[in-house]
Amino acid sequence: MSGRLQEVTARIGNVRELGGIVDSMRNLATVRVQQARRAAVAVETYAETIEDALLRIAPLLPADRPLPASKQAGSAGAVVFCAEQGFAGLFSEHVLDALRDDEKEHVFLIGTRGNAIARVRGLAPKWTAPAVQNPGAVPELADSITKEIGRQVVLGHLVRVTIIVCQSSEQEKARVIRLPLFPFDPAALGKSEGCAAPPLLNVAPEKLMPELVSDYMFSQLCLAALQSFKAENQARSERMTAAHHEITRQLKSLEQLQRTVRQEEITSEIIELVSGPTLAKLKRFNRHSRA
């Protein structure tokens, strides 16, 4: 086998190996998207239950106790859900672009890959954590964020927190959205309370409300973590699908080149085999002619 044919054959082997890796990554990303969709059903039900409880308790609070605390002293912050791994396009960049200037001093950044990109941009998050790699890890992550936000609020460092997360669906392209997280404002839910009768309580509304707000934050962070998990893997699946198509195209081109090179070698060998006896006959003919 000539050097050129060996080179083309080796390239085909390398491309096929790369194609196997790309297909594995694409399949894994697709599976994770499906996992996120199934898990979101239970989390959305839980979040709706907490929202309903808050809307029913809010009217029972004293009228002189406003819920929003946006005018208190303190800073704004943001919980930013970025990518955990690479090969997700500009996923993290788009999320980080949604940060506002007044939020950059108190950033809770989720995602190892996103954290690296943020630091290249000169952003130093106050708190970081890896993004989840399976839906089962979502509650633990959401609980950690909720506790840290609560600590910062108690210290007086934060009075307003926003979630920045990428959402994706089968019907629409992925988009980055901003969701208010703290303080709780019933009007932000866009729902009317509409309860026929006030709830029966064994705890004073003033004591119950902070616990429900904490549960509300936890539920919203669970939803955001799942949304980001799904969107990141959806983006990775799309990138790997594009890579799969490109690898398929390259393989077809290389295989055609391999056939061409092999045919050229066969032709050369045939010409060499045929030309040997022919040259010998010509030499004998020349000797007889001289004689």
pLDDT per residue rounded down to tens, the chain (291 residues) = 567 888 889 999 999 999 999 999 999 999 999 999 999 999 999 999 998 888 888 888 776 555 444 445 568 999 999 999 998 888 999 999 999 999 999 999 999 999 999 999 999 999 999 999 999 999 999 999 999 999 999 888 899 999 999 988 776 778 999 999 998 877 766 665 455 567 777 888 888 888 899 999 999 999 999 999 999 999 999 999 999 999 999 999 999 998 898 888 888 777 776 666 655 555 565 565 555
Spatial separation of the C-alpha atoms in residues 171 and 270, rounded to whole Å: 60
Spatial separation of the C-alpha atoms in residues 114 and 91, rounded to whole Å: 9
Q: Is 83 exposed, middle or buried (0-12, 13-18, 19+ CB in 10 A)?
A: buried
pLDDT for residue 210: 86
pLDDT for residue 256: 92
Q: Is the pTM of this model over 0.75?
A: yes
pLDDT for residue 4: 84
- On the question of a cis peptide bond just before residue 198, with omega within 30 degrees of 0, the verdict is no
Residue 149 corresponds to which tokens in the numbers above? 């936000």
List the helix and strand counts (H, then E) for the chain: 5, 5
Distance between terminal CA atoms of the chain?
44
pLDDT for residue 47: 92
Residue with tokens 């029972």: 60
pLDDT for residue 291: 53
CA atoms within 13 A of residue 230's CA, in its CB half-sphere: 23
pLDDT for residue 46: 93
Spatial separation of the C-alpha atoms in residues 141 and 128, rounded to whole Å: 11
Residue with tokens 């108690």: 154
> Hey, CA dihedral for 241, 242, 247, 248, is it positive or negative?
positive
Residue 43 corresponds to which tokens in the numbers above? 């989390």
